[in-house]
Structure 1
Amino acid sequence: MRETHTLEAAILRTVLYADIFDYALSVRELHHFLMHHTTVDLAAVEYALSTSPTLIGSLAYCGGWIMLADRTALERLRVERERTTQALWPYAERFGRTLARLPFVRMVGLTGALTMHNPSSLHDDFDYLIVTKPGRVWLARLLSIVVVRWVRLRGHEICPNYVLAEDRLAQTRRTLYIAHEVAQMTPLFGREVYDRLRDANGWTFEHMPNARYPLHAGEMARLNRAERWIKHAVEWVLGGRLGDWLEGMGAPP
């Protein structure tokens, strides 16, 4: 009985967190991002939703989406944002591939509202996390600014909000928000580095133990032979003193 009450509380906690972002959850999303102390299978979540008087009284299930009982307007909003997601997702993958071509970039992940299928409009920013070769974080950030400006000329905004070195993947801010950002990220390039990033931030599983893999799959960028050759050639040129100087120019004082 105690475990039942604990699962009920975890479900309510997860729905309440989603509500902060005007976000209705599918059962699969609720299970994946369940804020619980241990893993729970999907059947247990479905059973609790259908039998718990507390959950039946507190939550609404409309059109396949779960929300607080007094927030049924989120059903229509979620449907609208799903359509917006379908329109924006190809651009997210395209811009992710462009970032993947940059020298010293080892991983690109889509973060933010879009990766949760919750963009507020067609004009939302595209948020990314980038992992770079050690010692080239600031140079990669400088190069990403070129991409930001190129994309802006085409009517979109991208934000490489997080740029991490490959040897410093662990996040020092261990908050629920950061845990969710890591858990919801969709890798677009460098899956092996993505897996290492998740392992380096194993503390996130304490918040959402079911979220051990990307919920929404993106098309992984694969560089062709010419792109790989150009990337390696530029890395060779910028791998020595010139790159060190540019890295120092980009780093904060």
Structure 2
Amino acid sequence: MKPISPKAFKQVLHYFSFFNHALSAEEVRQYLSVPATQQEVTEGLKVLVQEGLIYCQNGWFALAPDALVLRAKYERLNLRRLKLAHSIGRFIAVFPFVRGVYLSGSLSKMGIQSKDDDLDFFILTRSGRVWTTKFFLIAFKKIFLLNSEKYFCINLLMDENQLSLAKRNRYTATEVASLITLRNDHGREKVLSMNDWVKNYFPNVEVPGAVENRVQTLSVFERILNATLGDAFERWCKARFTIHMRTHTNKEEGYFESETYSSAYYPHSVEQRLMKHLEEFENE
């Protein structure tokens, strides 16, 4: 097989250098843009280290030595925060109409964290109840957490039966590929299956074929909410949240999505700056 080009390796490391983040050989393979075995990736990285093109320490690889130090420094904190995320994920899962909970953002990639950073969650909801679910989650955050984003940042909610993402680029592909299941791994497989375009960016990511739908029986409380609030309340929530997101989203860097089947809210997203960072590498 043809050797992996140094540029393919450096593309991966350059992307994560935006966050000053080092990667393991397994992580490099996951985000590599060409098909490769783990052995080919490991051997290719060793050659680049020997040639002085990249740095390596304790099994981490990066374009700059500072990233290696930071990865080691924050590893224990990240493991503690990952344990915390699992606990919060179990709690979120008991909210009405929640069907799956997944960790996204920096911690899902074991990136640089502080004890005060927020935790980013991706939520799957009962079909037709995206906005009602968001209402209960946000109400809890405002009342009991005093509107703190610290441990309860709900960026993306999607209908369990409509999981195809509208935005398709390397950034969103990275987010999909790095999701960590906190509740309902079947749902994560379904997300990957419905977004198999991720393979165009990361051919080494395992994407399952067609995944069967599993209909979860409504709880007694969910039946009561459907009977008393129903679709009218769902539409009311969507209208109110849309106004809020449109008002508070940074017009230059922010992004929000308000659809019947999805709610995405990133008022200050790094996406545009990150894509520009990657574009600079591609133009070198």
Give the TM-score taking structure 1 as reference length.
0.83
Q: Which runs of 5+ in 1 are unaligned?
A: 214-227
For 1:80, what is the secondary structure of its paired residue? helix
Q: Higher helix fraction: Structure 1 or Structure 2?
A: 1
Question: Does residue 61 in structure 1 map to residue 56 in structure 2?
Answer: yes
Q: How far did residue 176 of structure 1 move? A: 0.7
How far apart are the structure 2 equivalents of 1:58 and 1:52? 5
How far apart are the structure 2 equivalents of 1:152 and 1:84? 25
How far apart are the structure 1 equivalents of 2:222 and 2:7? 51
8 Å Cα contact 2:141/2:148 also seen in 1? no
Q: How far did residue 103 of structure 1 move? A: 1.2
Q: Which runs of 5+ in 2 are unaligned?
A: 208-215, 241-284
8 Å Cα contact 1:148/1:159 also seen in 2? no
For 2:223, what is the secondary structure of its paired residue? helix
Question: Does residue 192 in structure 1 map to residue 186 in structure 2?
Answer: yes
How far apart are the structure 1 equivalents of 2:141 and 2:227? 26
Name the residue aligned to 1:124. Answer: 117
Superposed CA RMSD: 2.3
Structure 1 residues 70-81: aligned runs within 5 Å:
71-81=64-74
How far apart are the structure 2 equivalents of 1:130 and 1:155? 16
Structure 1 residues 56-205: aligned runs within 5 Å:
56-68=51-63, 71-149=64-142, 150-151=144-145, 156-205=150-199
Deviates more, 1:21-30 or 1:81-90: 81-90
Name the residue aligned to 1:33. Answer: 31
Deviations 1:78-131 (A, max 9, x none): 112212202212211111111111111111110000111114311110101001
Identity %: 27
Letter in 2 for 1:140: T
Flag the 1:153–1:87 CA change in 2: closer, same or farther, 3 A: farther
Q: How far did residue 153 of structure 1 move? A: 7.8
Letter in 1 for 2:6: E
Deviations 1:127-171 (A, max 9, x none): 010011111000001111134343458993321101001121000
Question: Does residue 207 in structure 1 map to residue 201 in structure 2?
Answer: yes
Q: Which of 35, 46, 51 is the matching residue for 2:42?
A: 46
For 1:108, what is the secondary structure of its paired residue? strand
8 Å Cα contact 1:34/1:210 also seen in 2? yes
8 Å Cα contact 1:99/1:147 also seen in 2? no
How far apart are the structure 2 equivalents of 1:74 and 1:126? 21
How far apart are the structure 1 equivalents of 2:112 and 2:45? 27
Flag the 1:178–1:239 CA change in 2: closer, same or farther, 3 A: same
For 1:144, what is the secondary structure of its paired residue? helix
8 Å Cα contact 1:148/1:157 also seen in 2? no
For 1:46, what is the secondary structure of its paired residue? helix
Q: How far did residue 243 of structure 1 move? A: 2.3
Deviates more, 1:81-90 or 1:179-188: 81-90
Question: Does residue 247 in structure 1 map to residue 234 in structure 2?
Answer: yes
Flag the 1:67–1:119 CA change in 2: closer, same or farther, 3 A: closer
How far apart are the structure 2 equivalents of 1:13 and 1:146? 42
Give the TM-score taking structure 2 as reference length.
0.75
How far apart are the structure 2 equivalents of 1:135 and 1:142? 13
For 2:80, what is the secondary structure of its paired residue? helix
How far apart are the structure 2 equivalents of 1:160 and 1:154? 11
Letter in 2 for 1:234: F
Name the residue aligned to 1:222. Answer: none
Flag the 1:66–1:138 CA change in 2: closer, same or farther, 3 A: same
